[in-house]
Chain A
Amino acid sequence: MVSSILLACATLAFADDPVEADYYRIVDVAVPEELVFEVGAIALLEDGRPMVATRRGQVWILENAYEAGAEVVCKLYTEGLQEPLGLLVHPDGWIYTCQRGEVSRMRDVDGDDVMDQLETVADIGISGNYHEYLFGPRLGADGDLWITANRPFGDEPFGRAPWRGFALRISTDGKVTPTCSGLRSPAGIEVAPWGDAFYTDNQGEWCGASKLSHLEPGDFHGHPWGIESCKLAAWEYGYPGDPPNGMLMPLVPDVIPSFKLPAVWFPYDKMGKSPAGMVWDTTGGAFGPFAGQLFVSDQHHASVMRVFLEEVDGHWQGACFPFRYGFQCGAIRLAWGSDQSLLVGMTNRGWGGRGNSPWGLQRLQWTGKVPFEIHEMRATPDGFELVFTQPVDARTASDPKSYALESYTYELHESYGSDEMDRAEPTITSATVSEDRRRVRLAVDGLRAGYVHELHATGVRAAEGGAPLLHAEAYYSLIRRPAPATSRGD
């Protein structure tokens, strides 16, 4: 009897806590059931209609996509593409895509929504392995196209092709420049609003944890599978060196100067298992309070995560946060709808995960209510600064015991994924709340560069209503530490 009363109380308390759906609502995009809608790519046409490429090689134009409950009309734009996993509506009027072995561009000449012309923009060598996917293209600041290429697993029936496991740039005249090596399974590539290219990679051998990384020419991102290609003449940056097998990641740059530490690690299972597509929030607030931040989908967790980035000592780094769970299945692509909702494209074919569907297309809509979240987590010389979406309760937010902090890093090695290595618990010595109660400065003893700092702000309450955070966790990858502010002198 007693236990059932307790249980009832617990349930009531649970029901009162805010849930993700209060702020962001998942809406189905009802494409006709007979279509196998294994989404490989989504783009928004200039007239606002979504264009969706499927893994079966079809490209569809969707009408009525934003009307809840309406039957969506899908018009076949073309078919016969080889596993297209990216679409780019280019200012030059063409629609660019990647097939397994080439970058192509397409256009509808007579305006009947049917593709009339496809041009091969660049050939990318291919050996005939199932895992040889190309992702992108994305338009770089200088007009170059960026793409990423998976490493193959197993058979290479047509002989090993170079540049698999690379990020490549294609100039407007079709010249292919291999740009970064050491990629494993780079399922997402995106160019930031400020022009830099970033990609997501999946945990596995030589990739200790899933990550978001900045792509700069000559980078080596850790996986040695394809770096034989760095001995070819077309590679302009020199052989990175034989990677050490079994070294803590922060130590690797001492051995391999071109080894690129990530911008953000996504700790395994805590933040998904297979990061894929991403979009920067360019809605200017129409999608809620996270304008300028990055959303990343996770194929395994059928979720969307949120990332805050800042540049510290010349390195882009930042924190990731849970954002929204509960999509139909493997979320691999994100794109903004013309109504500023977030289109989420899904497929779990070949890669299992959460959810209950083999494929799907859904939209995520902001309800207009602002969730109580850690908006930003910034590195400071002596700790972190947290920025909240709503004013915090000063009593709980200024109590160091409201927070728990742990740090760890990963090892570069041939085994699949890395444990969280060299763990420690840095001490939060003080928590100082700003006057407007939007910010809290955490002073921390024991910060370590090259380590994930995992924060649980479980005790912090909102000033209004006293609600806990919708997501109390944040994972900051402290690759570089900001230099102490120098006094102005005069």
Chain B
Amino acid sequence: MIGAKACAWVAALSATGLALVPTGASGELRSRDEAELALGEGNCFACHAAADELVARVQPAPGPDLSQVGARVAPTYLGAFLEDPHATKPGTRMPDLLAGFPDEERCSIALRLAHFLSSLGGPFDATPTSGYAAEIEEGRQLFHEVGCVQCHAPQQEAWELEYTFRELEEFDASELVRTTREPTPGVAPPRDVPLGELASKTSVDELARFLADPLAVRPAGRMPSLGLTDDEAHDIAVYLLRDQASGVEHFPGLAYEYFEAPFVNEVPVPDFDVLDVERVGTVTDMLHLPEHRDEEFGFRYRGFVRVETPGEYTFFTSSDDGSRLSIDRAVVVRNDGPHGMTEESGQVALTAGRHAITVTYFEITGDDALEVRWEGPGVEKAPISSSHLSHLAASLRPPGGGFRVHPALAEEGRAYFAELGCVACHTTGDATLDALPRPEAPAFDALRDDAGGGCLADEPRARVPHFELGERRAALVALLRDPAPLTTPQHPEQRVAATMQRFGCTACHSRGGEGGPHPDRRAYFYIKGGFDIGDEGRIPPALDEPGAKLRPAWLERVLFDGGVARPYMATRMPQFGADNLRGLPALFVAADGKPGDAAEPPFSLEAVENGRRVVGVRGLGCINCHTLAGHESLGIPAVDLARLYDRLQPDWFRRLLTDPIALNMNTRMPEFWVGGKSPVEGIYDGDPDRQIDAMWSYFSLGNAMPLPDGLVVPDEVYELRPTDAPVLCGVFMKDVSPRTLVVGFPEQTHYAFDVQNSRLAKLWRGRFFNTRGTWQGRAGALEIPAGENVLDLPAGPAFARLADAESAWPDAADGEALRALGRSFDEARRPVFAYALGDVTIEERPFPEVVPGGTKMHRAFRLTAPHAIDDLWFRGPAGRRRVEFKPRGDGRFEATFEEVVEW
């Protein structure tokens, strides 16, 4: 069946217009180095025997492990790829073994090989996978920020990532700001490792599995692990395979959206439409909540319930806290408000077929649970089974459906696999194949006599691997003719450079001014959380002298154990496999290390104390920018000081402090000892050397460092306590506005006035306010009242023009907005707010009154208008009232009234 189409695969796949891109990481190489690199990347010594030293020197990269390839790759792709690897995946390292065969035979062999490979771990599961817009969006961001695009071509321009997919589609071109990167004059474009046409190659699940642990399939480490979680790998896979989307289908279970919000202000039922979705996913049962945080979260499940027998159905929700269930958009179960585990139910008559179902659920605090059940004709009260639940999603349909391995063809393919020497590069899990000897080929030393022939011949020959080396071919031929350089011993520096090139380290890290991010790719490095840390927060550090800078143990942790010094950097340090880079730390030390310079300064408790003082805010203020043992800094989250001692060598630390600019031109780290003078004169008489030594002694305590002055300030310091007069503070207030004035009274009864929208927003009693979020560090936190009995006044404006008492009260966004005019004070220095609605001027003076049993808040109003008005209404917690204006005698009209809020 597939044989007849075999030759068409190539045409179909190669018609996709993929640009021809050369293999390799970024950066230019001298041709000889390039050729040497090619020996390893082409795995030449797998066939051509060479001395052990030479093999070790080039660190050959064998091909992928094929023991599960039948499950991983669609059979159609396998056939097409084998038939013509260079056309199917331009730039692939895989040589063409069939190039020298006549067309017909080539198709026939490729077909048999495809059957054989599909039998390894197969069959390939071509079942469609659901794909959600949110997953594609997340995968798109991850693909472009975790580091993939430093080796592979980006699929979006950096400016496009400032917009969501939907915005890019919906916005008019004139609404977009496009900061396209201009090609840098004189710089070659990045050399991207090709991905091929993934949508025709594999499925979401298989690609995700590969991305989560690429070393399992490709142990040579050229494709490193980025430490992706299963969810992240899934999202990237959905994004990369988005072209498989082939319409919308029902998938089993319900789709859910997960929210995080306090919900206290929104009971009995939250309005999920106004909240940001934290995560999406699917569930197959309605008895267990998907992953969530402990408190203050919610879920909205949506999809369809399938009814077999028409009739009256009862739905039940059992939840802590509240939940609701709707069928076909009508509420059936109301289990509203915060409460412990409570069951509620409701009936609805349903026809046979699918009906839309929505379940919302929220949790404020305490225990959490949600269970949904149903009961109806022929259905005992029970959970709704997954086969009765479905949801709609884009259907990502992998290729290769309907294929079956033909055992006879597979057996013939196995014979070809052995005969063609595929075993030289690939393991299969087939013990007999894997034990086969190296294919027959001239020893490496003998190649000089036929340097332009064999694998490197222009005209491919049957059974001889055919590489598409492009510019590298000539360099390789030259090297084969004169292989002497391969036996010239390499300096450690040369070995470091070759290793960095081989594993693509230079795509992110420069060394000695060479390599480093390609200018066209720098925009794809990001800082998490939008902190203003500059390029040091997003571009991986130069590896100018890690052997002299870092302790060997830390180098090993970074390379082999996921050690992270810069948690704010979005791009991740890949893991290349410990076996592949085992020798690199020692090489760095050999190339960079300065033995003898690494002596530790003397340690003493006195030095620790002095170091502590130097680091604090009355010293050099290191903690203005640096985190310390997990305590946030007062500003940006620069590297943790408690990790320095484990990471850095003392001599390098001294050089950094003495002249930070010399180590990194653009560092934002200040040089403190300008002209050899310390700004901290009271410690060691300002002697910079001794101060640096003291800091080192202090840092040596790691997480046990005593806290420096000014880092951890007790809440007490930021607490505002009105004692004899009102206290005012301007803040960003959560759920109110970024222009909010909080006013505290000695009566311990306080309010928040929203200046932005000219409305009294919150009242409370007890503790007034803690300013830490507004007064510490860069501040700008969304604040909340500190006290108790918090009352939220009705949302929207307190005044509105209405046609009659029954008219709907306008939202803040409707009609004419209130406009802030300012504030003055009464005789007790209590604020009097002035604002306007059209030509009506309103003064509002809120003040507490002490009464038996507690306090009330008075709101004294005075309104003036240039003409008579009879349609102005006020709304407070107690309801609406019409404002009665009276002539003032000067042609203007005035209204005064007082509203008393009791709560």
Interface positions of A (Cβ within 8 A of B): 36, 55-57, 79-83, 99-102, 104, 116-120, 123, 126-132, 153-155, 157-158, 204, 224, 227-228, 231, 239, 242-247, 268-269, 273, 300-301, 325, 329, 348-358, 413-417, 419
Contacts and interface: CB of A to CB of B under 8 A. Distances in A.
Contacts of B738: 100-101, 126-128, 132, 157-158
Interface in B728-782: 728-732, 734, 737-739, 741, 743, 755-756, 771, 775-782
Contacts of B536: 416
Nearest to A357: B618
Interface in B171-219: 174-175, 177-182, 184
B635 A79 contact: no
A206 to B, nearest CB: 8
A354 B672 contact: yes
Given A153-B531, A356-B621, A419-B665, A82 B158 contact: no
A354 B679 contact: yes
Contacts of A123: 756, 819-820
Contacts of B523: 245, 414-415
Nearest to A227: B177
A269 B661 contact: yes
A415 B535 contact: yes
Nearest to A202: B532
A117 B739 contact: no
Nearest to A104: B822
A99 B668 contact: no
Contact of B737 (A154, A158, A358): A158
Contacts of A231: 174-175
Interface string B643-676: 0000000000000000001000110101110100
A99 to B, nearest CB: 6
Contact of B739 (A57, A102, A268, A353): A102
Size category of the B interface is 35 or more
The 4 closest A-B pairs by CB, nearest first: A154-B530, A130-B780, A80-B728, A82-B730
B184 A356 contact: no
B534 interface: yes
Given A244-B180, A350-B778, A102 B820 contact: yes
B730 A351 contact: no
30 contacts: A56-B771, A82-B730, A83-B779, A99-B739, A101-B755, A118-B822, A118-B823, A120-B822, A123-B819, A126-B738, A132-B738, A153-B531, A204-B534, A231-B174, A246-B184, A269-B661, A348-B621, A349-B776, A350-B635, A350-B778, A351-B624, A352-B625, A352-B635, A353-B670, A354-B679, A413-B181, A413-B522, A414-B181, A416-B534, A416-B538
Identify the interface centre among B532, B775, B819, B821: most chain A CB within 10 Å of its CB: B532
B558 interface: no
B530 A153 contact: yes
Given A348-B624, A349-B634, A415-B535, A224 B179 contact: yes
Interface in B139-191: 158-159, 174-175, 177-182, 184
B824 A116 contact: yes
Contact of A130 (B535, B680, B779, B819): B779
Interface of B: 158-159, 174-175, 177-182, 184, 519, 522-523, 529-532, 534-536, 538-539, 617-622, 624-625, 634-635, 661, 665-666, 668, 670-672, 674, 679-680, 710, 727-732, 734, 737-739, 741, 743, 755-756, 771, 775-782, 819-825
A245 B624 contact: no
A415 B181 CA distance: 11
A122 B298 CA distance: 40
Nearest to B782: A157
A117, A132, A268, A352: which has the most chain B beta carbons within 10 Å?
A352
Given A83-B730, A352-B624, 18 more contacts: A101-B755, A102-B739, A117-B824, A120-B822, A126-B738, A131-B778, A154-B530, A158-B738, A231-B174, A244-B182, A245-B158, A246-B519, A348-B624, A349-B634, A349-B635, A351-B635, A414-B179, A419-B665
A253 to B, nearest CB: 15
A60 B824 CA distance: 18
Contact of A354 (B674, B727, B822, B823): B674
Contacts of B622: 352
B670 A268 contact: no
A358 B710 contact: yes
Contacts of B734: 157
A28 to B, nearest CB: 14
A242 B179 contact: yes
B822 A355 contact: no
B780 A129 contact: yes
A228 B182 contact: no
B617 A204 contact: no
A353 to B, nearest CB: 5
Contacts of A118: 822-824
Contacts of A244: 179-180, 182
A354 B731 CA distance: 29
A300 B635 CA distance: 13
A36 B617 CA distance: 13
Most buried by B among A131, A155, A325, A356: A356
B755 A102 contact: yes
B519 A157 contact: no
Contact of B182 (A246, A268, A355): A246
Most buried by A among B672, B771, B822: B822
Nearest to B183: A246
B777 A245 contact: no
B531 A350 contact: no
Contacts of B822: 104, 117-120
A242 B178 contact: yes
Contacts of A158: 737-738
Contacts of A355: 621, 679
Nearest to A268: B666
Contact of A224 (B177, B184, B618): B177
B679 A100 contact: no
B739 A126 contact: yes
Contacts of B531: 153-154
A246 B181 contact: yes
A325 B778 contact: no
B670 A352 contact: yes
Nearest to B522: A415
A404 B103 CA distance: 71
A81 B822 CA distance: 12
A169 to B, nearest CB: 20
Contacts of B739: 82, 99-102, 126
Nearest to B709: A358
